[in-house]
Copies of this chain bind each other. A is one copy, B any other.
Amino acid sequence: MSNKIRLGILGGGGDSLIGVLHRVASAMFDKYQLVGGVFNPKFEDNVGFAEQIGLPTDRVYKDFDTLIEEELKLPADKRMQVVSILTPNFLHYPMAKKLLENGFNVICEKPMTTTFEEAKDLHATLQKSKTVFAVTYTYTGYPMVRQMRELVKSGVIGKIQKIDAQYYQGWINPIIHDKEKRQTTWRLNPEKSGISCCIGDIGTHAFDMLEYVSGCTIESILADLNYLYDDNKMDIDGTVLLRASGNVKGLICASQIATGEENSFVVKVYGDKAGLKWEQENPNYLYLMEEGKPLQVLKPGHSYNSELSLDGTKLPPGHPEGIFDSMGNIYKGVAKAINKEKYDHGEFPTMIDGVRGMSFIEKAVESHKNGNVWTSIDKI
């Protein structure tokens, strides 16, 4: 009998990319065994998909409620220990809530919910349960992002004075200028996506990342969003000014109309002793800039890296890590928490990250709609 953690998955069937990412990540460190789930809305697709990925179909359920019901009938040592939620955004909240209430650990895609209200309620639910909850802000799993966090904590860059994140994509460009397409794209439909497109989808990554690497708490924001067309109700670009704890200022610029950009997520933190820079598209390099010294380029797997960083590197220096490794590291951290092993707070993003992210989205839209004024992030 395998001693791996028993994993269920909700969503991610068909040709879902996020499904591939989570399945591979769960296999990265020999820690999880996928045992079942509900991958597709239709039961026959669901079973077909399980066969396609080589999964026995006995625990492939017809819907979410059945999954809960049937799994609870199994003895504790057979039952799913953790369930990953990869469904459309509006389902995250009800599914996560019910899972938590029934004692399952949860790995949830971002955004965690569709409103801050839901997020707070979910947080209250979690506090009553004794489970592990992770939100997959994937990029915080990269070894060099972890190293960035550790270097900041170690004091190498001194007192932080500026935080800066850019997240530029161009994918919405062929859609936004086509009236028909922009009316039929779910990302641009508030009922399916919540109140924000660009800030909600990628701005939150930037927000979470800045807090993750800098250790700062962002306290208030001023947002200028861009909708381009009057009949478009969802932001597809925006700049957000930041004020954070410790008298730190900063900015997030996010765009989905930065034509030709792929996934250009760049994070910079400047202290009074040095600066640090990391780029998602070249994730194996961390730039340490010290006044009057040569630029230093740190890479994964070297002994000069922190334990937290090295824990996420599987091969020797010179063997580049990709996005799967990053998500794999988050799954590894969650496994440690489930197995009650020692782990570092930086190993996976928790519900607090999810809740703050929801507040960020709502406040960014509020700041913009009120005429680009400073607006406080809710405390939790």
A129–chain B nearest beta-carbon distance, Å: 26
Chain B hits for A89, CB < 8 A: none
Cα distance, A317 to B280, chains bound together (Å)? 12
A218–chain B nearest beta-carbon distance, Å: 14
B289 pairs with A299, CB closer than 8 A:
no
A299–chain B nearest beta-carbon distance, Å: 7
Any chain B CB within 8 A of the CB of A353?
A: no
Output the nearest chain B residue to A52 by Cβ-Cβ distance: B30
Interface flags, A20-47, vs B, CB<8A=1, else 0: 1101100110110100000000000000
A271–chain B nearest beta-carbon distance, Å: 6
Chain B hits for A282, CB < 8 A: 282, 320
| Chain A interface main SS type | loop
In the A-B complex, the 5 residue pairs with the closest CB atoms: A260-B289, A263-B318, A262-B318, A322-B322, A4-B54
Any chain B CB within 8 A of the CB of A306?
A: no
Any chain B CB within 8 A of the CB of A365?
A: no
Any chain B CB within 8 A of the CB of A281?
A: yes
Q: Contacts A30-B52, A54-B31, A162-B257 known; A318 to B3 CB distance under 8 Å?
A: no
Output the nearest chain B residue to A157 by Cβ-Cβ distance: B259
From A71-79, A92-100, A247-255, give the one contacting chain B.
A247-255
Cα distance, A317 to B247, chains bound together (Å)? 29
A295 pairs with B302, CB closer than 8 A:
no
Any chain B CB within 8 A of the CB of A173?
A: yes
Tally A residues with Cβ within 8 Å of B: 94
Chain B hits for A280, CB < 8 A: 318, 320
Interface flags, A171-188, vs B, CB<8A=1, else 0: 101100100000000000
Cα distance, A320 to B285, chains bound together (Å)? 13
Chain B hits for A314, CB < 8 A: 17, 20-21, 24, 324
Cα distance, A169 to B259, chains bound together (Å)? 27
Any chain B CB within 8 A of the CB of A120?
A: no
Any chain B CB within 8 A of the CB of A283?
A: yes
- Give 13 pairs: A residue, B residue, CB < 8 Å, sorted on A: A24-B24, A30-B54, A30-B55, A158-B259, A161-B257, A171-B316, A173-B291, A257-B272, A259-B289, A261-B270, A281-B318, A294-B296, A320-B323
Any chain B CB within 8 A of the CB of A288?
A: yes
Cα distance, A257 to B274, chains bound together (Å)? 10
Cα distance, A299 to B357, chains bound together (Å)? 31
